[in-house]
Amino acid sequence: MFQVPNMLFVLPEMVMLAMACVILLLVAFTGTRQIHWVIGLSQFTLFITALIVVWNMGEGGLTFSGTYIKDNLSDVLKVFVCVINMLVLLYSSRYLKARGLRQGEFYVLAVFSTLGMLIMVSAYHLLTLYLGLELMSLCLYAMVAMQRDSAVATEAAMKYFILGSIASGMLLYGMSIIYGITGSLGINDIALAVAGSVGDDSILSFGIVFLVIGIGFKYGAVPFHMWLPDVYHGAPTAMTLFIAAAPKVAAFAMLIRLLAEGLLDLQHYWQDMLIMLALLSMIIGNIVAIAQSNLKRMLAYSTISHVGFLLMGVLSGTDEGFAASMFYTLIYALMTLGAFGMILLLSRQGFEAENIDDFKGLSDSHPWFALLMLILMFSMAGIPPLAGFYAKLLVIKAAIDVDLLLVALVAVVTSVIGAFYYLRVIKVMYFDKPLVTHRLDAGRPMQIALSVNVLMILLLGLFPGALMQLCSFVFV
């Protein structure tokens, strides 16, 4: 029997879709002549969407025949996705203008990609999840390829597109196997079918393998990390920042929906796979990052290691572990915003501040921003009292609570190894003589936003209770 969908549940997505179409028409008819209107409308769209999500918090449930869910997890992650992408657009504006890339197409792709992330976060059906994922991914592929006169960016876009297409195919194949066994595409129906199944689950485990491969690629976990360093390095820094932050939040939602909500009763299958992904990511990510002289590549391998930590909470299979992983994801997004924001801050026309040596002597010319970078690097290394330390502590505790002591031990050892390359950035800022003159062309709004961004990491390290309580509330 047909049921009228609750349109209030999808109001944020409807508003964003309508505004994205308005921005698209504005770009089509005016080109770059009205770029300030395009930027303003894009920021307004993200802001009003976040506002609607906050206003509409509370009542939840399923709609659109069980394909879409509104719950605490979706509400919190949507607000973070919108706020993160607002900051990305703010940080990127001057950088894009200096390189002739501040075109309407970038903002159209950014808004449509954000729409895909919101759909992913609320998807409660494999088909809806896949559509949201592809909407997000296709926009990201086009973003990376926007700098058409750069051979490096074009190569990065091709690698990203080809490997991303293969991963999407793997994910779709895994979904088709799950559908073939359970007879449903709805995540709730799959959970019921798995809970009620008796006998051999080997075919289901085969489907889970393909799902984990797809998830591993979207996260950039080892051994599906091949695209990440090349894309982070080859893409313009503004596009790298967009790829690095909010999509990881959407990928966390996909991970929770598929494994924690749909296939929790088969944890004994996917837990071992996630353990291998986590261990390999932490070990290879941290060790290879030591050899990097390019800061963007170093941050790419750093991301791979962070993914390993993030997966530790999920593989525990407990609500406390899921909450710890969510906390880690949100802190990671803030740290990534700050780190790439610093690269964008120091970059100017004709100069990309993407090498570690480009930060030499920063403390002499701009001590405040050197201090901000120091806080970011210490937090990524997991040094107290910053938020990165508390995030790592929570996921390690989640692993210990389920007797995964070896995983926790590897996490601690690789954290110590990882501290080396983070401290190297601090060393060149404070103890080396500058190779270039550090000139800041960034406006006051970006400087203030970046400062608040980094100080939030310090504040959340000193007082993590509120955010952790929010994450725990989501999984009650």
pLDDT at 96: 86
Angle between helices 237-244 and 126-144 (to 10 degrees): 160
Q: d(Cα 176, Cα 207) in Å, to the nearest integer?
A: 8
Q: Token match 């991303």: residue?
A: 164
Q: d(Cα 126, Cα 184) in Å, to the nearest integer?
A: 9
In the three-class reduction of DSSP (H, G, I as helix; E, B as strand; rest coil), residue 69 is classed as strand
pTM to 2 decimal places: 0.93
pLDDT at 180: 87
> Could you tell me if 422 and 380 are in contact, meaning their C-beta atoms sit under 8 angstroms apart?
yes
Q: d(Cα 39, Cα 36) in Å, to the nearest integer?
A: 5
Q: Which residues contact 165 (CB under 8 A, 6 or more apart)?
A: none
pLDDT at 42: 92
3: burial class by Cβ within 10 Å (0-12, 13-18, 19+)? exposed
Q: Where in the chain are the domains? A: 8-474
pLDDT 10s digit of each residue in the chain, 476 long? Answer: 456 677 888 889 999 999 999 999 998 888 777 888 989 999 999 999 999 999 988 777 888 888 888 888 889 999 999 999 999 999 988 888 888 878 888 899 999 999 999 999 999 989 999 999 999 999 999 888 888 888 888 888 888 888 888 888 889 999 998 888 888 888 888 888 887 765 557 788 888 899 998 888 888 888 888 888 888 888 888 899 999 888 999 999 999 998 888 888 888 888 888 999 999 999 999 999 998 888 889 999 999 999 999 999 898 888 899 999 999 999 999 999 999 999 888 887 767 778 888 888 888 888 888 899 999 999 999 888 899 899 999 999 999 998 889 999 999 999 999 899 999 999 988 888 876 676 777 778 888 999 999 999 999 988 988 889 988 888 87
pLDDT at 336: 92
pLDDT at 200: 59
Amino acid 34 reads: Q
pLDDT at 263: 86
pLDDT at 317: 83
Q: What is 291-317 written as a DSSP string?
A: T--BHHHHHHHHHHHHHHHHHHHHHT-
pLDDT at 199: 56
